[in-house]
Amino acid sequence: MFKKYLFLLFSIGFFIPIVCAQTVDDATLLENTKKFLMDKQYDNAIIELDKILAVDPENVNALIEKGHVRLIQGKYVKALQNFEKALQFEPKNILALSGQGTAQYHLKQYEDALDSFNSVLKVDKDNTVALVGSGNILLKEQQYDNAILFFNIVLEREPNNISAMIAKASALSGINQYDKSLELLENILQLDSDNTIALNEKGQVYLEIEEYALARDVFTDLLEIDENDIYALLGMAELNFLENKNIKAEQLYDKVLLLDPDNVEGLLGKANVLENRGQYDDALRYFDEALEVDPDNLEASNGKGSILEHEVNASLDLILIITIIGSVTSVFSFIIVMIKIKENKKLQERVLIADEQIEDMVDKFMKRQKKIEKDH
């Protein structure tokens, strides 16, 4: 259910490089931008950068910095636009290419992102952002062993690179090397005890090995720090679902969707809870919403297919039972069959039951009834 890829922006290896300004005024504005970023005043940082761009729309440094801020805000489309514009003026600018790849990664444009990172590595084969970014794309595609190769390249040169360490821990978990994953996560937490990404990943590993009490401790600690930590909420929701605590799980998924209505994991979790409680129509709605956000999501497709198959089987079983009863009360049963077919009109549309099939079923029913009457 809940995937292990808990990477925020800096887990791609990104940080905000305030580039050198070309003029004193630009330097002042960029310094102001840096201060606003330190205080997480992202809108004010954008205002400072726009002052530069209002005078010089082709200022590559300002465009790149604006792209970086948009990445932090999670506005990946706008970030990509800024990096693409910067690359129009400097096609080989490494910072712009790295930013472009990162934005493409978050937009699930994985092939394009790999192309961007490859362009960086052709110029700078040791570029940490491109190496970790490429590895994370392979991680998303579940090519765990290949992903680890990229992370190891970074860690050989920078043993304490937290971005690469977190990504490698997730990859190790993906190939069931849970002990090594936990060991690596503990090393990260020794370097940065408040690293929420590492803590969430640790909670996920405990879920995988069914150490539910330990997982609960981790997610509880995270939610005490930030009650709106979406990853911790998802982890706690999954934990409750696995423990068959459907009401609590649903409440947590509802909170996730209140914070982020398009959160695919939240939509899938809510759908699974509803399906578990037998609320199939509501579950279908949430699977459909997940597919609107992520049309290629396999879990949503499988979940929807499973519910439809269940409803078809239940409907056909009911009609079969009524048909059998018809051998005793023919007219009454025939009427009930017709009513049930009408009641299931919506279901027919979903599973594409042809009218001819229904007519053939009724025709066979009537012929059998005539034969019964003739034999009597």
Q: Does pLDDT of 343 surpass 60?
A: no
pLDDT number for residue 7: 45
Q: Does pLDDT of 19 surpass 60?
A: no
In tens, the pLDDT along 232-247 reads 999 999 999 999 999 9
pLDDT number for residue 15: 44
pLDDT number for residue 95: 94
pLDDT number for residue 26: 66
In tens, the pLDDT along 250-289 reads 999 999 999 888 888 999 999 999 999 888 889 989 999 9
Using pLDDT thresholds of 50, 70 and 90, give the confidence band for residue 293.
Answer: confident
The CB density around residue 324, as the number of other CB atoms within 10 Å, is 10
In tens, the pLDDT along 139-176 reads 998 999 999 999 999 999 999 999 999 999 999 999 99
**Rounded distance, CA 247 to CA 114, Å?**
42
pLDDT number for residue 112: 94
In tens, the pLDDT along 82-141 reads 999 999 999 999 999 999 999 999 888 999 999 999 999 999 999 999 999 999 999 998
**Rounded distance, CA 321 to CA 314, Å?**
11
pLDDT number for residue 336: 54
pLDDT number for residue 303: 86
Q: Does pLDDT of 311 surpass 70?
A: no
| Residue 112, both tokens | 């394009």
The CB density around residue 41, as the number of other CB atoms within 10 Å, is 14
Q: Judge whether 70 and 78 are in contact, CB under 8 Å.
A: yes
Section 350-375 average pLDDT:
56
**Rounded distance, CA 351 to CA 320, Å?**
18
The mean pLDDT of the chain is 81
| Rg of the chain, C-alpha, whole Å | 28
pTM to 2 decimal places:
0.68
